[in-house]
């Protein structure tokens, strides 16, 4: 492929090489991570230049960004799984209760020799 003669989009405020990007087609925004350790939320305009909506400083340069829509689907799936795995009081009724008395615990300590 040939290089384009002019940039398709321009964003002011970006410093450092962009290392990863993730788009959210449903919202019209995308995330960009760069070597300056910022993850930026960018608008995706139809023409001209876009805007930096927000930025977040992280302690190390981002290597990958999960797409926004995929991350939300994953969170919703985890919440559904958690609701299914909650045990009722009836499930705990058959479990034997163990005493926490220290006296009942076995004493397996070795005695020190006096010299």
4 is a domain residue? no
Long-range contacts of 66-69 (CB under 8 A, 24+ apart): 66/22, 67/22, 67/23, 67/24, 68/22, 68/23, 68/24, 68/27, 68/29, 68/31, 69/24, 69/25, 69/26
Name the burial class of residue 60, with classes exposed (0-12), middle (13-18) and buried (19+) by CB atoms within 10 angstroms of its CB. exposed
96 is a domain residue? no
Q: For residue range 27-63, what is the model confidence (pLDDT) as tens digits?
A: 778 888 999 999 988 887 766 567 888 889 999 888 8
Strand partners, 68: none
Largest CA distance in the chain: 88
- How far apart, in whole angstroms, are the C-alpha atoms of residue 73 and residue 13? 31
| Domain of residue 54, residue span | 18-82
Higher-confidence residue: 63 or 77? 63
12 is a domain residue? no
71 is a domain residue? yes
User: Does the global pTM surpass 0.75?
Assistant: no
Averaged pLDDT, 76-84: 57
- As for how many domains the chain has, the answer is 1
83 phi and psi angles, rounded to 5 deg: -65, -35
Q: Of 4-8, 63-67, 96-100, which has the strongest mean pLDDT?
A: 63-67
Q: Could you tell me how many helices (H) and strands (E) the chain has, helices first?
A: 2, 4
Give me the chain's average pLDDT, please.
72
93 is a domain residue? no
- How far apart, in whole angstroms, are the C-alpha atoms of residue 22 and residue 69? 10
Find the length of the chain: 115
Q: Quick one: pLDDT at residue 57? A: 92
């Amino acid at each position: 492929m040939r290089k384009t003669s002019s940039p398709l989009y321009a964003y002011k405020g970006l410093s450092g090489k962009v290392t990863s990007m993730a788009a959210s087609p449903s919202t019209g925004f995308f995330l960009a991570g760069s070597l300056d350790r910022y993850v930026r939320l960018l608008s995706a305009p139809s023409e001209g230049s876009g805007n930096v909506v927000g930025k977040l400083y992280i302690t190390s340069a981002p290597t990958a960004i999960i797409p926004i829509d995929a991350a939300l689907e994953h969170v919703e799936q985890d919440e559904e799984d958690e609701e299914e795995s909650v045990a009722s009081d009836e499930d705990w009724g058959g479990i034997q209760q163990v005493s926490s008395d220290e006296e009942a615990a076995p004493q397996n300590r070795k005695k020190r020799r006096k010299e």
